[in-house]
Amino acid sequence: MPNPRSTARAVAWMASALLLAPATAHATTVRKQINVVDLIQESEFIVRGRVKTVTDGIDARGIPYTEVTLEVGEALKGQPGSEFTFRQFGLLAPKRMADGRVNLMVTPTAWATYVKGEESIFFLRQPASRTGLRTTAGLAQGQFRVNAAGATNALDNAGLFERVAVDPGLLGDAEKRVMATTRGTVNARVFSSLVKQAVDGKWIENGRMRHADR
């Protein structure tokens, strides 16, 4: 029979970890569609890279985590280095503990998931101040898996360019085609270039890229 006190502690740790995670990670399902302006604003690092390793564990405080190391091919925002390691809340799969109990606190539904060797564009939030855990901005919306067809997130890029205004003259024809996408895969190279131009040129800070309804 499960120990009620141990179960209560586990639930408390899960609640604590979620509360201390970055702001968009307070729910275990996607809260709303967010667009590229939100993703850029909410990210500390934006990188295009390949997953080198994925492991999981439970830290000294009892918090379950997935640890991911990325081989960074291109940094679009920030300078994370050629390799970057971070931890996200939750295990890869239920884990049997030394005392025989099974820890069921896996990665919550609708959060980003990671597969060794897989290439993606990652929009990574700042780590939580107390736990050090971090998530992708907008949860799974901030992870764009890259393949031969292009790049797409968990919502098939729905809403990515909605309510986004960009000053005339900033976009080339390729960027305009990407931003005209209402749903579906986008060209990964052009999307990366668009994001990097917006970051380097401080388009959002200067109001040159913005929410159209504000």
Q: Is the dihedral of CA 148, 47, 180, 177 positive or negative?
A: negative
- Domain with 36, as residue range(s), is 4-211
State the Cα–Cα distance between residues 138 and 118, nearest whole angstrom. 20
Two tokens at 161?
């360019």
State the Cα–Cα distance between residues 31 and 115, nearest whole angstrom. 24
Two tokens at 49?
């890279």
Please state the domain count of the chain.
Answer: 1
Q: What is the pLDDT along the chain (214 residues), one digit of tens a residue?
A: 445 454 445 445 454 544 444 543 444 445 578 999 999 999 999 999 999 999 999 999 999 999 999 999 999 999 999 999 999 999 999 999 888 899 999 999 999 999 999 999 999 999 999 999 999 999 999 999 999 999 999 999 999 999 999 999 999 999 999 999 999 999 999 999 999 999 999 999 999 999 998 6
153 class by beta-carbon count within 10 Å (0-12 exposed, 13-18 middle, 19+ buried): buried
